[in-house]
Structure 1
Amino acid sequence: MEKQHIEMMFKRNAWFTQLPEDVIHSLVSMSKTKHLAKHQQLHAKGDEADGLYCVLDGKIRVSNVNMHGKEMVLTWLESGSWFGEISLFDGLPRTHDAHAEQDTQLLMLPNTTFQKLLRKQPELYPHFMRLLCQRIRATFALIDETGGLSLSGQLAKRLLLLASGLVNGLPDDKADNGNPIIKVSQESLAQMINSSRQTVNKLLNELKKQGVIHNQYGGIEILDVNALKKLSEI
């Protein structure tokens, strides 16, 4: 993959847009690419951290297994999404499982290289602290999502979270009229809220009838953010 395309991945992500140009060049030159086949595991919960990752192409499923042995999908990370930063800072094992949902190309900044960069340029710490804070906010939002909300409330909360870019740091896509567009399948949403695709389809149709969303090919357009916020509280 061309270096120019890789640099665009850095600049596309909200976490890295404020980094100096020379730092972005350094990060790109220090990184390497990694390919995962469909369903291949990148890392398991408890694994030692080996680096910071960016999805160049494909999709990564981030999940955990609950006490009943059922996989709980936390989110999906697509092109432009960065992940794996928590373990790089606290030195502790990975907090989740990560699998390739399809053939996936990753950019990897090795842990040793990352630490060397921070020692050389300690002024970069605030940038990466913002990255961590972004992840913490997303975690709290996910906790709120499961705190007694109805399925419709959980779905509304999840749609807002995905549209905000809190999960992956990406700016939301926009329709010509400026409305946020979320690129996610019904199957993915179902796994995120521990429901069935049929139930999610029914809930989305209700939101469509209420004029809150509009289903389009490969995504969901948010027509009324305020209505979605109200629904996310019940």
Structure 2
Amino acid sequence: MALSDDIRLLAQVPLFQGLDDDQLRLVAFGAERRSVAKGQELFREQSPAECAYVVARGRLDLYTVGRDGIADLARSAGPGTLLSELALVTMVERKFTAIAAEDGEVLRIPRTLFHRLLEEYPAVARILEQRIRDNLVGLAKAAAAMQGRFA
């Protein structure tokens, strides 16, 4: 795939929407495109996350292990989905296992690349910080809404 295809893909990712071509080019140029074959594990739940992934082609199934030790399908992720967003900012553990449901490709975005984007474009840092904050608030609200299920 061409660099311009990766720039177009990144422009569709909510976290990166509104970034200009130079900013997206920096991320696209530094990202690593990886192929994933159907059934291949991209990463495992509770493993350290030093990067995020954007699904470029195909579909990944995301599993979590329940209390019974059985993996449950949490959701699927298709093109344009950003996985492990917080890994771009700090060291975290993966919250699920990602397995390719079909042949596809992902863009691997290392934390160091994301930090370089923020260093070179400080205004972007403020925009992305607010987007990440909004996403965390949304997750907290969703978790609070489900609290009654677990009481």
TM-score (norm 2): 0.83
User: Aligned in 2, Cα 1:53/1:130: closer, same or farther, shift over 3 Å?
Assistant: farther
What is the distance in 1 between the residues matched to 2:144 and 2:49?
Answer: 24
Shift of 1:143: 5.6
Shift of 1:130: 3.8
What is the distance in 2 between the residues matched to 1:111 and 1:126?
Answer: 17
What is the distance in 2 between the residues matched to 1:64 and 1:21?
Answer: 36
Matched, 1:6 2:44: no
Shift of 1:127: 3.0
Q: How does 1:56-205 map to 2 (within 5 A)?
A: 56-136=56-136, 137-138=138-139, 140-141=141-142, 144-145=145-146, 147-148=148-149
Shift of 1:76: 1.2
What is the distance in 1 between the residues matched to 2:143 and 2:101?
Answer: 21
SS in 2 for 1:90: coil
Q: Work out which structure has the larger RCO, using CA pairs closer than 8 Å and 6 or more positions apart in sequence.
A: 2
SS in 1 for 2:39: coil
User: Aligned in 2, Cα 1:142/1:37: closer, same or farther, shift over 3 Å?
Assistant: farther
What per-residue deviation string (whole Å, max 9, x for no partner) do you get for residues 88-125 of structure 1? Answer: 32312222221111112001112222223323333222
What is the distance in 2 between the residues matched to 1:103 and 1:142?
Answer: 32
Largest Rg, 1 or 2: 1
Letter in 1 for 2:62: V
Worse-superposed segment, 76-85 or 126-135: 126-135
Letter in 2 for 1:38: K
What is the distance in 2 between the residues matched to 1:36 and 1:17?
Answer: 25
Letter in 2 for 1:144: A
Shift of 1:57: 0.3
Flag the structure with higher strand content.
2
What is the distance in 1 between the residues matched to 2:44 and 2:114?
Answer: 21
Letter in 1 for 2:121: Q
TM-score (norm 1): 0.56
Gaps of 5+ in 1: 149-234
Contact 2:7–2:21 (8 Å) recurs in 1: no
Match of 1:55 in 2: 55
Structural RMSD (CA): 2.2
Q: How many matched pairs?
A: 148
